[in-house]
Amino acid sequence: MATDHTPAMREPVRWYTGGPSGARRLINRLRARVAEQQRLEAHRFLEADMRGLWREACAGVGLCQYVDNAAGMTVRTPRFGGLRVGPAGTSFTVELMPGGEPADVEAHALRLAHSLGFAGLRVAPLGGRWVRVVLFEVDPLASTFALPHDVVGRADAPILLGRREDGALVEHALASPGHIAVQGQNGSGKSQLSYGLLAQLAAAADVLISGSDITGLLLGRAWDGTAHRAHQVTGSKDLTAHAAHLDRLVGWMDDRLDTMPPRIDNIAPTVQTPLVLVVLEEFPGLLRAAQAKDRKLAERITSAVLRLLSEGRKAAFRVLMLAQRFEANAVGGGYARDQFAVRLSFRVPAESLAMLHGDDARRLGPEHANTEPGIAYLSAPGQDCVRLRAPYLGGYGAYCDRITRHGRREDTEGRAA
In whole angstroms, what is the distance from residue 251 CA to residue 253 CA?
Answer: 5
Task: Output the CA–CA distances (angstroms, integers) from residue 86 to 47, 91, 132, 150, in the order listed.
Answer: 13, 9, 15, 31
Q: Is 189 annotated as a binding residue?
A: yes
Residue 180 parent element (H or E): strand 179-183
Helix 295-311 to helix 283-293 angle (10° resolution) is: 150
Torsion of CA 44, 46, 52, 58, to 10 degrees: -120
Helix (H, G, I), strand (E, B) or coil at 411: coil
Residue 195 is classified by DSSP as H
Q: Please name the amino acid found at residue 262.
A: P
Q: Is 120 annotated as a binding residue?
A: no
Q: Is 185 annotated as a binding residue?
A: yes
Give the number of other CB atoms < 10 A from CB of residue 27: 11
Q: Is 188 annotated as a binding residue?
A: yes
Determine contact, residues 165/326, Cβ cutoff 8 Å.
no
In whole angstroms, what is the distance from residue 42 CA to residue 36 CA?
Answer: 10
Q: Is 236 annotated as a binding residue?
A: no
Q: Is 190 annotated as a binding residue?
A: yes
Q: Is 332 annotated as a binding residue?
A: no
Residues of the binding site for ATP = 184-191
Residues of the binding site = 184-191
